Every structure is written in structure tokens, then in C-alpha cells.
Chain A
């Protein structure tokens, strides 16, 4: 049944790489943004919140197109990156960026909910006991939001595995370079007689996503026990 071609294997491997890359890049930034949203009293907080959540409500295609404008050869960031010889569009890096941006709101939301459950007085208590801001972050805030960070990373990882719209615009659908599982399935459905192949990849996709959820559940339980 699992009759996968080498190209399918490549797509699976690429999907995993993209999901890992996107999650790893987004997590530190997501933690920082969640911290600001949960604890700070900045005047522009509502604006920041809206901006962070925008990819959640925009069609991924729109996000992909905006990223294409930003990272394209004439784009604001694209020109800067061209100086150091980095190309984002139609590369693996592009797929990672697209996934990271689209999954970011889910990550931030999960971490923020966890952080809002932390008793701010115990953070103040840590400061008065001689812990600096960084010390408090590492010994109190981070351990207490560990489960939420893990939950956010899982959501982000799973979302990245399924990312399609933004990826196809920013990174294209190049087999072996940017063709992840959803893009490969899309191509099969457009090929006469590709139904079985598409179904195979669908099953792989289900198994992968379900595996991620199970792993995360197990990790959460371990964290809770400690």
C-alpha cells in the first residue's frame, strides 16, 4: 500500500525539515512576543496583538503574496538580503519563512495563555529575593510556561506540515527543493491517474500529524509529573 516513489520520500523529508526549521526559528521570537503581550503594559499592545494574529485570519495566499513582495528581488528585505547573497524566494528557506509566518499566531497564542496563568506576584517575589530579570525569566517564567511552549511548538509544527497557500506562492512547487507533502499531493491530483499516489501521501500526512500530537501529549505528561 505505502508505495512511495523517491520523489515522495523527498517531499516527506522536506516537509519535516521545513516544519522543524519553522518551529525552531519561530519559538524564541514567539516566546518574546507572548511575554510582551502577557506581562507588559505597552501602549501599542493592541496593535501588536492585531499584527501577530493577522496571518491567522488572512488567506495564506495573501500572506504568501505579501511575503513575495517583501522578499522579492525588488522587495525591501530582498534587496538587503541580496547584499549578503541570500535568496529566500523559490528556495527551502522560503518554505520555512512561509510556514513560520503562518504558524506564528498559533504559537504565540498557546504560550501567552500559559504565561497568563503565572502568578505575577511570584515573579515579583523572585525579584525581591535577589533574582535579576533574566534570572527570573530562566528560573520561574520559563519553567512555568514550559508546557504552554511545548503545546505552541506542537501546533506550529503540525500547522507547518500542512502549509500550502503561502508556501506555493513564496517558495514555488519545485520537486526536491520546495515540494513538501501538500504540494506533492496537489500535483498528483492534477495528474491523470495520480489518485492512488495522492492517497498514499495523505495517509503519510495523517500518520505524521497524529504522531506529533501523541509525542507532544507524552512530553506534556512528563513535564507535569516533574
Chain B
């Protein structure tokens, strides 16, 4: 699936211009509010008309100002999940879910509704009116409604912004499952670096209506180390009791945490600044996790240095300052011991 965009749009004093082509399965549009992310979404979906340029999806022209082609939104087969669910208030959950499905050619119906309803855990809600749904349920119905229209590409415009922290991390596993299981290309719009890292592999960065750059999500996370710090994200399996604490398998390592996970696939955050590096194994320390690692590489942003560590079969990034790099003689290939407190991990979902 390739999306090729070269468009310009003037909206009052705001000018939007972008030229890019995307082929990654999970792409992000990243930028602060007012950077033109939503404008791009509206232009690609056909809800707004660009002043000039072309839009092509999988080789098919959706918009071309010189050839005067402007394919109507209902013919583009691009699904949109808005910031708020925007469900149809006069229909129940089932009618909402199948609205797009009923308008999709039988040949194009490649999603099995039952499977999707199961993945989104909506089975018990089908006959309910939408005024009796919680915020998270509404957003799941909105996602299901879009996926069932069997689009070639799904645009998500800040779909998690309206939800509180807890709901957000309840929804993310559903999102990940849907996009992994039904193999639909995703263009994910957000101003949240954390959401980007959970949902995308590659990002386009926008600022004031202009495309600033393009990089992998990992590069984006590393480049914003000074402003926000770097956060490691660790998928940990089911824990076992270990004294008062919880022990998790992390690849070939074992980690001890204060927090108990709830599922087989819990996601934890670990701030890179909370990892302390030792040159030699400290015999006794209050930190419960001591991992012997090999330095894979270093990257610097201003006066911070990110140290990429290979811990067994897993990778971890620790953030230190240049002086520490010199004193510990940290260089690629060197061996260090990383100490992490059991309470440094924060569970996301």
C-alpha cells in the first residue's frame, strides 16, 4: 500500500504544504496542535479539497488538480476514526458497526464481522443504544465501524486524546490487535510521543503546516531525549511472586518489579534516567535489578548521552551525561552493569 501525497492548501492565514510518499504499514503524523495534522487527514480523506497537487493511493489517483480529478470521500475507501467517536445517535451499536459494511461491495468485504466483534469485545453491546456506552466502548465501536467498511487505509485523528489515562491504555491493546490481525495500513495522527511509539514504526513530523522530517519512531523518541527524556518500553509476561515483589521474564533476563501485572502481555515504562551504570559489578546495592550488558552504541543530544545496551537478547537505553561516559570509558563493545530499582517501572497496560 503506497500513499503518495503532494498537496497545498491555504486556510485563511494558515498554509499547509506536504510532499511525501509512504509505504510503511503503521505510520504516524506527529506534531504539536496547529501543525496541520488534522488538515492533512481531511485532505487525504476527501473531506476538504486541496488547492493544488495530487493524492494517490495504491497507484489510484484520488485527487489531481491539473486533471480536475477529485474522488468523493465515499469512493476513496479510506476509513477515518475521529478524536471523538461521532457515532450515529439514532442507531444502536449493531447498526453503527454495520453502516459501512452494508455499503461495501461484497467482493471487497475481507473482514469477518464476528472475528472483529470478538477482538473488540463488543458482542454483549450489540443491541445497546449508543447513549448507554462508556467513552472507551464508544471509541471501540467507532473503530469497529471503520474497520468493517474494509478500507484500504485507516486514518486515526488523535483517537485517544479525549480519553482519560486509564481508558487510553485499555484501548491501545485493542488497537494493536485489530491492526495486527486484520492487516490494515494505518496513518496515526497524534501529538503524543508515547502513543506514537505504541502505534507506529515510522513518523512524519509536521510543524506549522510544513513537513519537517521523516524518521523511524525510535529515532523520533531518541531525538526528543533532552525535552522529554527517553522512555524504554518493555513487554513483560505473567509474573510470579518473589518475596514481596513480582518477578517477570524479559527475554533471557529476569526483572523484579514492585507492580503486579494483570495480563500475559503487560507493557511497562522505564525512564532511561532511572538506570544507573556501573563499571564493575557492585556487590551490594538497594536496586533489585542488576543486569550485565554490552554497550551497542551511543547517541548524543546536547549534553545528554543515550547508551544503547544489549541485555541478553533485549535492548535498553540508559541516559547519562558526557562526563560519566568518559569516567566509565563507555564505548561500543564495553561491558557495564545496569542497576534498576524495582519501583522504577510504571505499568501502562
Q: Which positions in A face B, CB cutoff 8 Å?
A: 119, 121-122, 124-133, 135, 139-140, 143-144
B99 x A129 contact (CB < 8 A): yes
- With A121-B84, A128-B76 known, 9 other A-B pairs at CB within 8 A are A124-B47, A124-B73, A125-B145, A127-B72, A127-B73, A129-B100, A131-B74, A132-B74, A144-B90
Size category of the B interface is: 20 to 34
Chain A residues with CB under 8 A of B72: 127, 132-133
How many angstroms from the CA of A124 to the CA of B90 in the assembled complex?
16
Chain A residues with CB under 8 A of B84: 121
A129 x B103 contact (CB < 8 A): yes
How many angstroms from the CA of A126 to the CA of B102 in the assembled complex?
12
B88 x A128 contact (CB < 8 A): no
A130 x B104 contact (CB < 8 A): yes
Which residues of B, 87-141, contact A by the 8 Å Cβ criterion?
87-90, 99-100, 103-104
**Nearest CB in chain B to that of A118: its residue:** B89
B280 within 8 A of A: no
Given contacts A121-B86, A122-B86, A144-B90, contact A128 B80 (CB under 8 A): yes
**Nearest CB in chain B to that of A125: its residue:** B86
Nearest CB of chain B from residue A142's CB, rounded to whole Å:
10
How many residue pairs link A and B with beta carbons under 8 A? The number is: 65
Partner of B80, one of A124, A139, A144: A124
Nearest CB of chain A from residue B76's CB, rounded to whole Å:
8
Q: Which positions in B face A, CB cutoff 8 Å?
A: 45-47, 72-74, 76-80, 82, 84, 86-90, 99-100, 103-104, 142, 145-146, 149
How many angstroms from the CA of A121 to the CA of B88 in the assembled complex?
10
Chain A residues with CB under 8 A of B86: 119, 121-122, 124-125
How many angstroms from the CA of A121 to the CA of B79 in the assembled complex?
13
**Nearest CB in chain B to that of A146: its residue:** B90
List 5 A–B pairs whose Cβ atoms lie within 8 Å, in order of A's numbering. Answer: A119-B89, A124-B47, A129-B100, A130-B103, A130-B104
B79 x A126 contact (CB < 8 A): no
Chain B residues with CB under 8 A of A126: 88, 99
B146 x A129 contact (CB < 8 A): yes
Chain A residues with CB under 8 A of B145: 125, 129
Chain A residues with CB under 8 A of B88: 122, 126, 140
**Nearest CB in chain A to that of B108: its residue:** A130
Nearest CB of chain A from residue B312's CB, rounded to whole Å:
46
